[in-house]
């Protein structure tokens, strides 16, 4: 039962995890809110539709699914790199939030007068090992992580919300870059997480059907095919991203008490375990389960020990942007139109055409301008 809600948990959790890294210094900038809402509609929504459509068409996880889809579309194996990049992006997100958790936990313990005499990178490495062990539980840590994070945030809210002074400021490419980051990687769009979540649900349904008789299998499969619409899956995820994103922006400057920090960062470790589970499952398609676990652990520990947090943010932006660019171009230009129509099953041809224009033109252009904005910020 928990598998069916994995995508919704991630849609609620990722903004709480990542908005703090990409939100502007002043969250009262009205123009930034408008840019973020625009990016959620023009960039995030088409990308989540693409993930769900490719998941439905491939009936497999991203890495294995891209192999099927590229053969079907007679496309270059280069497009399969989306699956590899998606797995790497998930490890980088896990490393970023665990690195933040190590600093947050040490700070909270210091306020309580019981901080261990350990550098933050050593604590981060230990937390990465704990997260990997928790990843063996699959989806199960997600509700625990959400509960701990919410309790920690509520303890902070009881001390008062940060004051927000709304004002219009000058729009710039750097603002657009942050808005796109919040609309994509910060809500999980284009990371393959929703594709993977849909694959888990499909696999669970197939297992349940195979346990029944053949007649039941055929009748349920026919009924499922007739009832399927991508919009029924995409809109609840997207609306949840939007609502939690608004909350995450408002509380991005929230100050938590020490106990609240301990609970929040403990919850972060639980959530990071699912990201590692997702990555390990992708790599297992090529290397086997045990080797994939060791590879995930090695890369995760390397990232938290050797790379500063600010560099992890930059690395995440670059790799996730390339991954989403590959996904949008493949779905928009390389997939067969008939396959996409069936996979999306929109109620009208006009909606399909709008999505196709967005995924082929608007998403790639938005990503290119966002990358230019990030470069301008880094150079300044």
Q: Residues 6 or more apart from 374 whose CB is under 8 A from it?
A: 174, 177, 314, 317
Whats the size of the chain, residue-wise?
380
Give the per-residue pLDDT at 208.
61
Name the nearest CA neighbour of 20 among 313, 239, 261: 313
CA dihedral 288, 291, 293, 296 (to 10 degrees): -110
- CA torsion through residues 277, 143, 269, 194, sign: positive
Q: What is the structure's pLDDT at 223? A: 46
* CA proximity to 163, closest of 45, 271, 255, 35: 255
Q: Which residue matches tokens 């009832």?
A: 227
73-113 pLDDT, tens digit per residue, is 999 999 999 999 999 999 999 999 999 999 999 999 999 98
- Residue ranges for the chain with pLDDT beneath 70: 1, 26, 205-227
* Closest of 218, 196, 250 to residue 3, by C-alpha: 196
C-alpha 231/C-alpha 217 separation (Å) is 24
Separation of alpha carbons 61 and 84, rounded Å = 11
In the three-class reduction of DSSP (H, G, I as helix; E, B as strand; rest coil), residue 113 is classed as: coil
Q: How far apart are CA 184 and CA 191, in angstroms?
A: 8
Distance between terminal CA atoms of the chain? 49
HSE-up (13 A, CA, CB side) for residue 99: 23
Tokens of 272: 């990071």
Tokens 């002043």 sit on residue: 26
Global pTM value: 0.92
The pLDDT value recorded for residue 211 is 58
State how far the Cα of 268 lies from the Cα of 260, in Å rounded to an integer: 12
Nearest residue to 183 via CA among 361, 11, 378, 374: 11
Q: Which two tokens stand for residue 129?
A: 């090992």
Per-residue DSSP letters for 46-102? HHHHHHHHHHHHH-S-HHHHHHHHHHHTT--GGGGHHHHHHHHHHHHHHHHHHHHHH
């Amino acid at each position: 039962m928990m598998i069916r809600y994995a995508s919704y948990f991630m849609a609620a959790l990722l903004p709480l995890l990542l908005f703090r890294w990409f939100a502007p210094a002043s969250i009262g900038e009205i123009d930034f809110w408008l840019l973020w809402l625009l990016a959620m509609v023009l960039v995030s929504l088409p990308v989540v539709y693409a993930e769900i459509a490719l998941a439905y068409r491939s009936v497999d996880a991203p890495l294995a699914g891209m192999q099927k889809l590229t053969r079907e579309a007679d496309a270059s194996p280069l497009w399969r790199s989306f699956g590899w990049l998606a797995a790497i992006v998930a490890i980088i997100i896990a490393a970023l939030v665990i690195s933040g958790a190590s600093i947050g936990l040490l700070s909270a313990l210091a306020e309580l007068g019981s901080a261990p005499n350990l550098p933050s990178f050593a604590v981060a490495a230990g937390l990465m090992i704990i997260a990997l062990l928790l990843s063996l539980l699959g989806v199960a840590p997600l509700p625990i992580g959400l509960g701990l994070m919410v309790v920690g945030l509520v303890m902070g809210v009881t001390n008062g919300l940060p004051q927000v002074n709304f004002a219009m400021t000058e729009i710039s490419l750097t603002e657009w870059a942050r808005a796109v980051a919040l609309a994509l990687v910060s809500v999980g769009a284009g990371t393959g997480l929703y594709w993977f979540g849909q694959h888990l649900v499909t696999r669970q349904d197939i297992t349940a059907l195979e346990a029944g008789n053949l007649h039941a299998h055929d009748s349920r499969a026919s009924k499922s095919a007739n009832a399927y619409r991508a919009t029924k899956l995409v809109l609840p995820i997207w609306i949840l991203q939007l609502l939690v994103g608004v909350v995450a922006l408002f509380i991005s400057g929230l100050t938590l008490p020490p106990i609240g920090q301990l609970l929040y960062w403990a919850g972060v470790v639980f959530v990071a375990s699912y990201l590692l589970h997702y990555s390990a499952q992708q790599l297992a398609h090529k290397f086997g389960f045990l080797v994939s676990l060791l590879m995930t652990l090695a890369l995760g520990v390397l990232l938290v020990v050797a790379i500063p947090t600010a560099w992890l943010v930059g690395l995440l932006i670059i790799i996730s942007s390339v991954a989403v660019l590959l996904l949008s171009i493949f779905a928009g230009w390389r997939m067969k139109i008939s396959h996409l129509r069936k996979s999306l099953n929109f109620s009208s041809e006009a909606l399909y055409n709008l999505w196709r224009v967005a995924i082929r033109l608007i998403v790639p252009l938005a990503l290119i301008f966002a990358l230019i904005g990030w470069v301008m910020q880094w150079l300044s």
